[in-house]
Structure 1
Amino acid sequence: MSEMKIHTLIFSPNNWMQLAQELSQLDRFDAQWQAIERREQKTLKELKSIATVRSVGASTRIEGSRLSDKEVEVLIENLDINKLTERDEQEVAGYYETLNLIGESYRDIPVAETSIRQLHNTLMKYSSKDNYHKGAYKINTNRVERTEADGRKTTIFETTSPGWATQEAMTQLINWYNNDSTTHSLIKVALFIYEFLSIHPFQDGNGRLSRLLATLLLMKSGYVWIEYVSFEHEIEHRKKEYYKKLMEAQRNRPGEDVTEWAYFFLDCLKNIQGQLLQKVKEKEQRESIGVREQHIYAMVENNPGISSGEISKKLSIPNSTVKRILADLVSARNLIVHGAGRGTSYSIATTDLVQRDVAMILTNEEPVKEFTLSQLGAFFRIKKIVLTPKFEWKHPDEWVRKLSQNGLYITVNVATSKGIVVQQRYSIFGYNDPTYYQPVLLVTPNIILPDLLGSNGVLKVDYPVRCRIELSGSIDNFDFDVMLVTDQG
């Protein structure tokens, strides 16, 4: 089966088996999550509070708000509707109230036009500018536009015409969603959100409402873990890709192929699943440490940039003890150290500080990359290899054969400031999974620096650590450009 029609859209994965495996992986998380929910009540309460602030901030910023997460948090804590004079504040208040409503009542909110209209009314509740169209379908055209640097507006995509066309499109969308019992629920959610954005049924607020609807539909489908991590923050982080996937599909509307959009949506969910597990793990690690460690960690959390001497004075703990505990927390990647000597200070190593999905390109012209891990706690993780063939291919056997002939491998060279050098070679072909259609290879286990030193018997790592990554092979000119997808912190 090469393609299928779902609602009015074409869905045509290149590899149905791989798609089934990805969906299964997302679903298997639920069993793991049930165990986490039972034992991590306090942790989840904190995570939900953090996720709410990040979701509200990110989703309103995507639409042009200028409020930071910290400003959003302060606004939520001191919410007074009589003082909401700024549009950014009005949007934050509306989004916050709608998100809370979904979290508390998702089981009782049917997937129906009346529900969507009511959610839109709540979303726009505090915006005086939008009084005339709250909860009502659009009466004017509302094509999606982007404002260029010079002030010109560029149309990203046309939307469904107002009036009867919008009413009919929404009715058909709701009917399909409620009556399709064969499509996997995650694919259904991805396609519902795509179609909702394409219709753009309301005069304003469609982008924000689409992300709220994604949370509602996911929770109603059993993926309740979504409220403990910010789906909106993931979209904000990948905003360009988000709009690109929408545009690429919608330019062929109607009857367009939405496969790439669906894959993007699933990849966002995989990423935030990983982030959620990481946050729970970090919380468990922090709670497993002793009372002094917890006090020191809390002191750094509340006073980013604080020094060991200041901590010692505030907590009445000997400075030598404080330094030892700080070193342990940095080593465990709970803290980040800044500066050196008397200028040394510390801050929390939150997952926000990690740069995710950073690309490093290796080619015939530039086969070597060098960089430095400057301080304790810094790391570099290779998690995926994406190959760009320099030849036309139609079947995966063709690029697999070429990869084997090229004999490609990457050599990682790591050197400490004391002159200890470790070198290791990794065959790229060794990461090839025969079920993959595209030349995208998962690096399992991940290659992590400076952990490579420890796995080679280096007990003490002296910083800075100089790193060199080189692409080599059995031929002089490779038939591929190689992109390493990494996390860096």
Structure 2
Amino acid sequence: MNIHTFEFIPLNWMDLTQQLSQLDRFDAKWQAIERREQKALKELKSIATVRSIGASTRIEGSQLSDTEVEVLIRNLDISKLSDRDQQEVAGYYDALNIISESYRDISVAESSIKHLHNILMKHSSKDAYHKGNYKINSNRVERTESNGQKTVIFETTAPGFATQDVMEQLISWYNNDSSTHPLIRAAVFVYDFLSIHPFQDGNGRLSRLLTTLLLMKSGYVWIEYVSFEHEIEHRKKEYYKSLMDAQRNRPGEDVTQWVTFFLDCLKNIQHQLLEKLKAKEKREALGVREIQIYSLIENNPGISSGEIAARLNIPVSSVKRILSDLVAMRNLIVHGAGRGTSYSISVTDQVKHDLTIRLTNEDKVKQFTLQQVGSFIRIKKIILVPLFDWQHPDEWNKRLLRNGLVITINAKTSEGVKYSQPYTILGFNDPSYYQPVFLVNPNIVLPEQFSKNIGKVNYPILCSVELSGSVDVFEFDVLLIIDEG
């Protein structure tokens, strides 16, 4: 199907429908949550504001941490904003506040977008000549190589009448398309805005502000209590790849990958918001001793029950009972067994669900690092993407057998201890499956998978997933669906 000037061809329409329904069903609960959790939401909004500003400005090169951002916006003094990073933070803070307070009254129009850009750039004298106005010079997107040379990633729309025309077309389409789901419509708007790059500078930051505006105007007001920008920062490589893969084929490109990424980000942060509210309810139910133990573990991940008892002067038997209760409430996670048992805080608010690791002929190895106690990767589904047309399972089944595809999990601990375990993809296939989509049962979970074999592991742990087979060139791309925490 076509949306605006783009192609949109989901791999599975049923999955897309279910994902949109899940995101929409949440809104039905949100009014009750707002009434019940007013105090908690005020705190979450404050946290989300800091994280959003910090993440969105860091994506564009700022060096300020969330802590530094928080201090800055609490003590905002325009006369002292001489540093560009501080100017960008102040501008983003002002624009985000305007959207939060007045989103109902802000129309999706050129005048509104230019006004938001003016607010975003107002603290920077360097940007005075172009703030609030479309670009007058080319602003192609480039990458700086290690030798200092610049490589053009994609060409943006030419300045002048060309930018004016396509922005008018984009806004007209958005305001008149009543058949496209609002979430997909928002994703496509943001994609085209970034591709046009209508302003001389600030397009990336403004695109994320417009995301919040479009979502809130469409009724997804919960977005201001969790940071969409932080999710993008966490998945920055995936963010740029999904944009660039489509933009290289302008005009008339396929934006399916970008829309899928956009919706997945929303699903993740929606889940994070619910988990944060649940975690707060659980913490509020804790007694004095429980709070003491929880706080000690939070500041000392990997601590044992004996150490807790000694430091808090609480009988070991009482500590173990409280720990058991906290684990049952899912506030804590347990590592090891017996005398080697230790505890850390559950990071459910940071868990990323249904992420994708893509392995191809050109990119057969993916590396990642488990930084600290509690970090994990859970591989739960394998999706084969046949690089050929097929109508019957036998057509991909036989080729899978011929390709002999294997994923190998490799790990190396901080002490140099190595682990490697191969998994034959064919082993997860079920003859009754029509689609080449395999459930990994039981899930492959790192580091638990290799800690069983090498005992206690020390962090950080360098891991990789490698695709190999019995042929040199595979007839499939392999998608691994994972949870990450």
- TM-score normalised per structure 2: 0.76
Q: Is the aligned partner of 1:392 residue 2:388?
A: yes
- What residue identity is the alignment partner of 2:95? T
User: 2 CA distance for matches of 1:330 and 1:313?
Assistant: 20
Deviates more, 1:240-249 or 1:329-338: 329-338
Q: CA deviation at 1:218?
A: 0.8
Q: CA deviation at 1:40?
A: 2.6
- What residue identity is the alignment partner of 2:270? Q
Task: Tell me if structure 1 keeps the 8 A contact 2:272–2:349.
Answer: no
Report 1:316-327 matches (<5 A): 321-322=318-319, 325-326=322-323
The number of equivalent residue pairs is 455
Deviates more, 1:68-77 or 1:309-318: 309-318
Q: CA RMSD in A?
A: 4.8
Q: 1:67 aligns with which of 64, 68, 71?
A: 64
Task: Tell me if structure 2 keeps the 8 A contact 1:382–1:485.
Answer: yes
Question: Match of 1:33?
Answer: 30
User: 2 CA distance for matches of 1:38 and 1:55?
Assistant: 24
Deviations 1:412-447 (A, max 9, x none): 9xxxxxxxxxxxxx973459875x6xx445669967
Judging changes above 3 Å, is the alpha-carbon distance between structure 1 residues 281 and 204 closer, same or farther for their aligned structure 2 residues?
A: same
Question: Match of 2:124?
Answer: 127
Gaps in structure 1 of 5+ consecutive residues: 413-425, 453-462, 466-475
Deviates more, 1:284-293 or 1:57-66: 284-293
- What residue identity is the alignment partner of 1:33? W
Give 3-state SS (helix, strand or coil) of 1:29's partner: helix
User: 2 CA distance for matches of 1:312 and 1:409?
Assistant: 47
Question: Match of 2:428?
Answer: 428
Give 3-state SS (helix, strand or coil) of 2:223's partner: helix
Question: Match of 1:278?
Answer: 275
Task: Tell me if structure 1 keeps the 8 A contact 2:186–2:214.
Answer: yes
Q: Is the aligned partner of 1:203 residue 2:200?
A: yes
Judging changes above 3 Å, is the alpha-carbon distance between structure 1 residues 150 and 330 closer, same or farther for their aligned structure 2 residues?
A: farther
Report 1:383-422 matches (<5 A): 383-387=380-384, 392-395=388-391, 397-398=393-394, 401-402=397-398
Report 1:306-455 matches (<5 A): 321-322=318-319, 325-326=322-323, 328-329=325-326, 334-335=331-332, 348-351=345-348, 354=351, 357=355, 359=357, 381-387=378-384, 392-395=388-391, 397-398=393-394, 401-402=397-398, 428-430=428-430, 439-441=436-438
Deviations 1:174-213 (A, max 9, x none): 1111111111111111111111111111110000000110
Q: Is the aligned partner of 1:485 residue 2:485?
A: no
User: 1 CA distance for matches of 2:235 and 2:196?
Assistant: 22
- What residue identity is the alignment partner of 1:276? L
- What residue identity is the alignment partner of 1:392? F
Q: CA deviation at 1:61?
A: 0.8
Judging changes above 3 Å, is the alpha-carbon distance between structure 1 residues 242 and 32 closer, same or farther for their aligned structure 2 residues?
A: same
Q: 2:287 aligns with which of 282, 286, 290?
A: 290
Q: CA deviation at 1:75?
A: 1.9
Deviations 1:332-370 (A, max 9, x none): 55356899999999764434765764759899xx9xxxx
Q: CA deviation at 1:166?
A: 1.3
Q: CA deviation at 1:11?
A: 2.3
Task: Tell me if structure 2 keeps the 8 A contact 1:337–1:344.
Answer: yes
Q: 2:20 aligns with which of 18, 23, 44?
A: 23
Deviations 1:378-437 (A, max 9, x none): 665333223355x73433645665499899999x9xxxxxxxxxxxxx973459875x6x
User: 2 CA distance for matches of 1:154 and 1:327?
Assistant: 56
Judging changes above 3 Å, is the alpha-carbon distance between structure 1 residues 346 and 393 closer, same or farther for their aligned structure 2 residues?
A: same
Q: 2:90 aligns with which of 93, 100, 109?
A: 93
Judging changes above 3 Å, is the alpha-carbon distance between structure 1 residues 319 and 75 closer, same or farther for their aligned structure 2 residues?
A: farther
Q: Is the aligned partner of 1:250 residue 2:247?
A: yes
Question: Match of 1:218?
Answer: 215
User: 2 CA distance for matches of 1:148 and 1:339?
Assistant: 45
- What residue identity is the alignment partner of 2:169? Q
Judging changes above 3 Å, is the alpha-carbon distance between structure 1 residues 148 and 464 closer, same or farther for their aligned structure 2 residues?
A: same
Q: Is the aligned partner of 1:81 residue 2:53?
A: no
Judging changes above 3 Å, is the alpha-carbon distance between structure 1 residues 381 and 169 closer, same or farther for their aligned structure 2 residues?
A: same
Judging changes above 3 Å, is the alpha-carbon distance between structure 1 residues 352 and 36 closer, same or farther for their aligned structure 2 residues?
A: closer
- TM-score normalised per structure 1: 0.76
Gaps in structure 2 of 5+ consecutive residues: 410-425, 450-454, 458-469
> How high is the sequence identity, in percent, across the aligned residues?
68
User: 1 CA distance for matches of 2:110 and 2:427?
Assistant: 54
Deviations 1:452-472 (A, max 9, x none): 9xxxxxxxxxx749xxxxxxx
